[in-house]
Structure 1
Amino acid sequence: MIQKTELIERILESLRKELTVIKEGARESYEVATHEESQPENRFDTHSLEASYLAAGQAKVVVEIEDAVMRCQNMELNAFEPDDPIGVGALVKLKSKRETTFYFLVPIAGGIEVKDGRKTILVITPQSPIGKLLVGHKAGEVVHLETTTLPKKFEIVSVK
């Protein structure tokens, strides 16, 4: 099983790639918004205004990703004992009738998938539906997740 330090490195790698793409998009949007050819020709021409809104939105996302990188770099990776409740930093293995899934609970960067051989570890936050469900539970317990299709029952196999 992948180590938590390696998980954090992979999360940081994903965040840095996303940051590069967003920064480039923000730069391009800013250039479009401030270019002399983007000046409105009449009061109905909103091209420059729309580009400036886009640049501002992308700049906000840049700040959020930079914050996520910083928080990820400074995150303490505590070991969990078998009887410890699930909390931030836990690597959790769940099993249902059909599948076994792995989750890494962190304060930020939810939604990133990390491949570990044939396994996929999904990064989740305490604010996500599955994160809310898991926090405070322990290995050996069963949790129920209500979904739009069918409710699912998961056994918490391990917490590391």
Structure 2
Amino acid sequence: MDKFLLQQQVLKRLAEDLLQAEQAVRAAHETATHKENIAENKYDTLGLEAAYLATGHVRRAEAIRKALANWRQFRPRPYDVRKGIQIGALVCLVDSDDKQQHLFLGPDGGSMKLVSGTQFVQVLSSEAPLGRAILGKCEGDEVSIQVAPIRQQFEVLRVH
């Protein structure tokens, strides 16, 4: 798997998300300021609700802009066994059922699935529970996280 190509996919997806968020900001702002939505009494809250929605969309757009900036500046380094898994690592984990999952530990904007050849790759932030758990680990190490009442166990199979 090519880290550069994965990074390009992340940038493309974030750019698409930003475009959608900016369109949502404009639509919510237009709704909030439209003359037909001016409150006629204290129970007429459509304009106020649209303003709250616009504020949320503005925050989302700003978060995406920040993620874009972080990913543009990001330069994944080769895996260094002395440091263990760091941001930029491509990691293959295997669970107790021998199910493998591929992760790309990035600077921001997790929860994105990418495709590399025939493999699905989950983008993961170092702030996510699994991201924090794998930092510093090496091939062969065990990783354990608690998700609600369930403890999940993994082994680090490969790191690039």
Q: TM-score, normalised by structure 1?
A: 0.92
Provide structure 1 residue ranges, at least 5 long, that are not aligned to the other structure.
Answer: none
Find the counterpart in structure 2 of residue 108 from structure 1: 108
Residues paired across the two proteins, number: 159
Q: Is the 8 A contact 2:6 2:116 kept in 1?
A: no
Find the counterpart in structure 1 of residue 128 from structure 2: 128
Do the aligned partners of residues 41 and 64 (structure 1) sit closer, same or farther apart at CA in structure 2, a change above 3 Å counting? same
Aligned-residue CA RMSD (Å): 1.5
* Cα deviation digits, residues 100-124 of structure 1 (max 9, x gap): 1111111201000001233211111
Q: Distance in 1 between matches of 2:149 and 2:62?
A: 36
SS at match of 2:147: coil
Q: Distance in 2 between matches of 1:93 and 1:3?
A: 14
Find the counterpart in structure 2 of residue 80 from structure 1: 79
Find the counterpart in structure 1 of residue 144 from structure 2: 144
Find the counterpart in structure 2 of residue 26 from structure 1: 25
For residue 143 of structure 1, what is the amino acid of its counterpart?
Answer: V
Give yes or no for the alignment of 1:95 onto 2:94. yes
* Consecutive aligned runs of 4 or more in structure 1 exceeding 2 Å deviation: 81-84, 144-153
Q: Is the 8 A contact 1:92 1:156 kept in 2?
A: yes
Do the aligned partners of residues 147 and 60 (structure 1) sit closer, same or farther apart at CA in structure 2, a change above 3 Å counting? closer
Find the counterpart in structure 1 of residue 58 from structure 2: 59
Q: Is the 8 A contact 1:83 1:139 kept in 2?
A: no
Find the counterpart in structure 1 of residue 119 from structure 2: 119
Provide structure 2 residue ranges, at least 5 long, that are not aligned to the other structure.
Answer: none
Q: Distance in 1 between matches of 2:74 and 2:120?
A: 21
Find the counterpart in structure 1 of residue 2 from structure 2: 3
* Cα deviation digits, residues 67-101 of structure 1 (max 9, x gap): 11111011021111344311111111111232011
Say which structure is richer in strand: 2
